[in-house]
Structure 1
Amino acid sequence: MTYIFKPKDDIESPNKLYYPGFHFANDSQFKELHCREMCELELSKGSLIKLTNSDGGAPVLIFAVSKDNEDAASLLSTHELPPTKPNYHAFNTSPLLEFLAPKKGAIENISCRSVFDETTLAGDSYVIRCLDELTLFLALPIQENSIEKGGGGTVLIEHHFKGSSESHLPKPLGKVRQEIHIDSGTGQSYEVKAGEYIQVIDIEGRQCSDFMAVSHSALKAGKERYIDSTVTRTMVHRSYPAPGLCDKFFDQDMQPLLAVVQDTVGRHDTFGLACTARGYEERGFPGHVNCSDNITNAYSAYGIQPRKAWPAINFFFNSTIDMHSNHLSSDEAWSRPGDYVVMRALQDLICVSTACPDDIDPINGWNPTDIKVRIYSEDSNIARAIAHRPFTESEYNMTVESAFHPRTSALTQSFSVARDLWLPNHFEATGAIEEYWACSQGVTIQDMSALRKYDIIGPDAEALLQLAMTRDISKLSLNRGFYTLICSETGSVIDDGTLFHIGPHLYRWCCGSEESGRQLKSLAEEHGLKVWIKSLWSAMPNLAIQGPKSRDLLAKLLFVQPTQPLLENVKWFGCTIGRLYDRNGPLFMLTRSGFTGELGYEIFCDKESALPIWDALMKEGEEFGITPIGSEALEIKRVEAGLMIAANEFPPTVDAFEAGLGFAVDMKKEHFIGRAALERNATAPKIKLVGLRLQGNEIPHHGAPIFIGRNQIGTVTSAVRSPELEQVIALARVAIEYSPEGTVLEVGSLDGYMKRQVATVCSFPFVDPKRERARA
Structure 2
Amino acid sequence: MTAPLDIARPRLIQPGLLPLAPGHERYWVRPGGVTGLQLETGDKITIVDRQGAQRAEVTVLGQGGVDFAALGLHGDAPATVLTNMDATSHRQNPQHADVIAALADRGLRPDKATAVHLFGESSRAGSQESFVAQRDITVVVAAPTWMMDLDEANPPSDLMVEIIRANPPVSTHRDLPPPLAEPILDVRINRATAFSYEVKKGDYIQVIDVEGRQCSDFLAFDLRKLEKGQERGLDSIATHYFMGNAYPQPGLCGKFYDQDFDPLVEVVHDTVGRHDTFGLACNSKFYEDFGYPGHVNCTDNFNAVLKPYQVEERKGWPALNLFYNTMFDAHNLLIFDEPWSRPGDYVLFEAKTDLICASSACPDDIDPSNAWVCTDIHLRVYPAKKNFSMAISHRVTPESEPTMTRESGFHPRTSALTSQFVDYRNFWLPTHFDGHGAIDEYWACREKAAIMDLSALRKFEVLGPDAEALLQYAATRNIRKLSNGQVVYTAFCNDTGGMIDDGTIFRLTDTRFRAVVGDDYTGRWLRELAEKLGLDRVWVKDSTDQLHNIAIQGPASRDILRPLIWTNDKETNFEDVGWFRFVIGRIGDHQGIPVIVSRTGYSGELGYEIFCHPDHAVDVWDAVWEAGQEYGLTPLGLDALDMLRIESGLVFAGYDFDDQIDPFEAGIGFTVPLKTKEDDFSGKEALIKRKENPQRTLVGLEVAGNEPGGHGDTVHSGRFQVGVVTSATRSQILRKNIALCRMMVEYAEPGTEVEIGKLDRQQKRIPATVVKFPFYDPEKKRPRS
Same fold (TM > 0.5): yes
Secondary structure of 2:181 counterpart: coil
Would the aligned equivalents of 1:59 and 1:141 in 2 still touch at CA under 8 Å? no
Distance 1:492 1:693, change over 3 A: same
Distance 1:744 1:90 in 2: 68
- Confirm whether residue 81 of structure 1 aligns to residue 75 of structure 2: yes
Q: Which among 573, 576, 596 is matched to residue 569 of structure 1?
A: 576
The whole-number CA distance in structure 2 between the counterparts of 1:76 and 1:346 is: 53
Q: Residue 4 of structure 2 aligns with which residue?
A: none
Residues 769 and 474 of structure 1: CA distance in aligned 2, closer, same or farther (over 3 Å): same
CA distance in 2, matches of 1:434, 1:63: 57
Of 217, 225, 233, which residue of structure 1 is paired with 2:232?
225
Query: Against the structure 1 CA distance between its residues 307 and 110, is the aligned structure 2 distance closer, same or farther, given a 3 Å change threshold?
Result: farther
Find the aligned partners of 2:589 and 2:419 in 1 and give their Cα distance: 35
**1:545 is matched with which residue?**
552
Answer whether contact 2:83 2:111 (CA < 8 A) is retained. Answer: no
Which whole-Å CA distance do the structure 2 matches of 1:173 and 1:489 have between them? 44
Q: CA deviation at 1:723?
A: 1.5
Per-residue CA deviation, residues 645-691 of structure 1 (Å, 9 max, x unaligned), is: 11111023222211111011111223211111111122222211111
Which residue of structure 2 lines up, in the alignment, with residue 448 of structure 1? 454
Aligned to 2:689, which of 667, 680, 695? Answer: 680
Correspondence for 2:282: 275
In structure 1, the residue matched to 2:121 is 118
Q: Secondary structure at the match of 1:366?
A: coil
Look up the match of 1:234.
241
Does residue 155 of the first structure (1) align with residue 159 of the second (2)?
Answer: yes
The structural deviation recorded for 1:365 is: 2.9
Give the letter aligned to residue 19 of structure 2. Answer: F
| Greater CA drift, 488-497 or 718-727 | 718-727
* 1:199 aligned partner: 206
- What SS is found at the alignment partner of 1:542? strand
Does the CA contact (< 8 Å) of 1:77 and 1:129 recur in 2? yes
Can you list the C-alpha shifts for 1:105-147, whole angstroms capped at 9, x where unaligned?
Answer: 7996473644321232211224588988989674451465254
Deviates more, 1:394-403 or 1:117-126: 117-126
State the match for 2:768 in structure 1: 759
Question: Residue 560 of structure 1 contacts residue 577 of structure 1 at CA under 8 Å; is this kept in 2?
Answer: yes
Verify the 8 A CA contact 1:745 1:759 in the aligned structure 2.
Answer: yes
Is the counterpart of residue 598 in structure 1 residue 605 in structure 2? yes
Select the residue among 3, 9, 14 that pairs with 1:19. 14
2:317 and 2:154 mapped to 1: Cα distance? Answer: 57
Amino acid corresponding to residue 606 of structure 2 in structure 1: L
On the 8 A contact 2:753/2:767 being kept in 1, the answer is yes
Q: Does 1:361 align with 2:381?
A: no
**For 1:581 and 1:553, how far apart are their aligned partners in 2?**
12
Letter in 1 for 2:160: L
Aligned equivalent of 1:248, options 237, 255, 258? 255
**Distance in 1 between residues matched to 2:644 and 2:36, nearest whole Å:** 45
Q: Deviations over 1:87-117 (max 9, x none)?
A: 7999996798313458997996473644321
Question: Residue type of the partner of 1:411?
Answer: L
Task: Single out whichever of 448-457 and 511-520 deviates more from structure 2.
Answer: 511-520
Cα distance, 1:583 vs structure 2: 2.2
| Aligned CA distance change for structure 1 residues 617 and 719 (closer, same or farther; 3 Å) | same
Read off the aligned partner of 2:365 and give its amino acid letter.
Answer: D
Alignment of 1:709 onto 2:718: yes
Q: Contact 1:60–1:141 (CA<8 Å) still a contact in 2? A: no
Alignment-mate amino acid for residue 769 of structure 1: P
**Matched residues in 2 for 1:617 and 1:767: separation?**
27
User: Residues 212 and 122 from structure 1, CA distance in 2 versus in 1: closer, same or farther, beyond 3 angstroms?
Assistant: same
For 2:640 and 2:585, locate their aligned partners in 1 and report how far apart those are by CA, in whole Å: 28
- Alpha-carbon distance in structure 1 between the residues aligned to 2:614 and 2:84: 10
Task: Give 1:402 deviation, angstroms.
Answer: 0.8
2-side partners of 1:501 and 1:230: how far apart? 54
User: Using the alignment, how far apart are the partners of 2:82 and 2:579 within structure 1?
Assistant: 38
Q: Which residue of 2 aligns with 1:329?
A: 335
Alpha-carbon distance between aligned partners in 2 of 1:635 and 1:408, rounded to the nearest angstrom: 18
2:307 aligned with 1:300: yes
Cα distance in structure 2, aligned partners of 1:135 and 1:219? 54
**Structure 1 residues 733, 547: CA separation in 2 closer, same or farther (over 3 Å shift)?**
same
Map of 2:51 onto structure 1: 55
Query: Of residues 733, 741, 747 in structure 1, which corresponds to 2:756?
Result: 747
Aligned residues: 757
- 1:632 paired with 2:654, answer no
2:565 and 2:588 in contact (8 A); partners too: yes
- Residues 183 and 382, structure 2, Cα contact 8 Å, conserved in 1: yes
Post-superposition CA distance 1:447-475 (Å, at most 9, x none)? 11100011111111111112111111111
Match of 1:373, SS?
strand
Of residues 287, 293, 318 in structure 1, which corresponds to 2:294?
287
Aligned-partner Cα distance in 2 for 1:559–1:90: 33
Match of 1:469 among 461, 464, 475: 475
Unpaired runs of 5+ in structure 1?
1-15
CA distance in 2, matches of 1:435, 1:64: 56
Give the letter for the 1:738 counterpart: Y
Deviation at 1:300, TM superposition (A): 2.3
Change in CA separation of 1:570 and 1:367 when aligned onto 2, cut-off 3 Å: same
Q: Deviations over 1:65-100 (max 9, x none)?
A: 99xxx9999899698533425379999967983134
* Structure 1 SS opposite 2:621: helix
How far did 1:172 drift? 2.1
Partner of 2:273: 266
Amino acid at match of 2:384: E
AA matched with 2:586: R
* Cross-structure match for 1:769: 778
Pair 65,560 (structure 1): closer, same or farther in 2 beyond 3 Å: farther
CA distance in 2, matches of 1:128, 1:355: 42
1:720 Cα deviation (Å)? 1.2
SS of the equivalent of 1:659 reads coil
Measured on the aligned residues, the alpha-carbon RMSD in Å equals 3.4
Letter paired with 1:524: A
Structure-2 separation of matches of 1:72 and 1:208: 46
- Counterpart of 2:145, as a letter, is P
- What amino acid is the match of 1:123? G
Counterpart Cα distance in 2 of 1:159 and 1:17: 25
What are the within-5 Å matches in structure 2 for residues 151-190 of structure 1? 151-158=155-162, 168-190=175-197
User: Equivalents in 2 of 1:64, 1:259: separation in Å?
Assistant: 44
Q: TM-score, normalised by structure 2?
A: 0.89
Indicate if the aligned counterparts of 1:212 and 1:313 stay in contact, CA closer than 8 A. yes
1:145 is aligned to: 149
Q: CA deviation at 1:188?
A: 1.1
Answering whether residue 28 of structure 2 is matched by residue 38 of structure 1, we say no
* Residue 49 to residue 447, structure 1, CA distance change in 2 (3 Å): farther
Q: Deviations over 1:326-371 (max 9, x none)?
A: 2222222211121100011122222111112223323323332211
Structure 2 CA distance for partners of 1:347 and 1:497, relative to 1, 3 Å = same
TM-score (norm 1): 0.90
- Contact residue 541 and residue 610 of structure 1 kept, 8 A: yes
In structure 2, do the counterparts of structure 1 residues 484 and 344 end up closer, same or farther at CA, with 3 Å as the change threshold? same
Residue aligning to 2:8? none
Matched, 1:725 2:734: yes
Preserved contact between residue 182 and residue 372 of structure 1 (Cα < 8 Å): yes
Shift of residue 416, structure 1, vs aligned partner: 0.8
Listed as ranges, the matches of 1:92-107 within 5 Å are 97-100=93-96
1:595-631 C-alpha deviation (Å, 9 max, x unpaired): 1111111111112222221222122222322222111
1:245·1:268 contact (CA, 8 Å) conserved in 2? no
Which residue of structure 1 lines up, in the alignment, with residue 327 of structure 2?
320
In structure 2, relative to structure 1, the CA distance for the partners of 1:653 and 1:123 (3 Å cut) is same
**Which deviates further from its counterpart, 165-174 or 692-701?**
165-174
Hey, what does 1:616 align to over in structure 2?
A: 623
Which one of the candidate residues 373, 392, 398 is aligned to 1:392? 398
Is 2:661 the partner of 1:654? Answer: yes
For the 8 Å contact 1:243–1:266, the answer to whether it is kept is no
Deviation for aligned residue 1:63: 7.9
Report if aligned partners of 1:449, 1:541 keep a CA contact under 8 Å in 2. Answer: yes
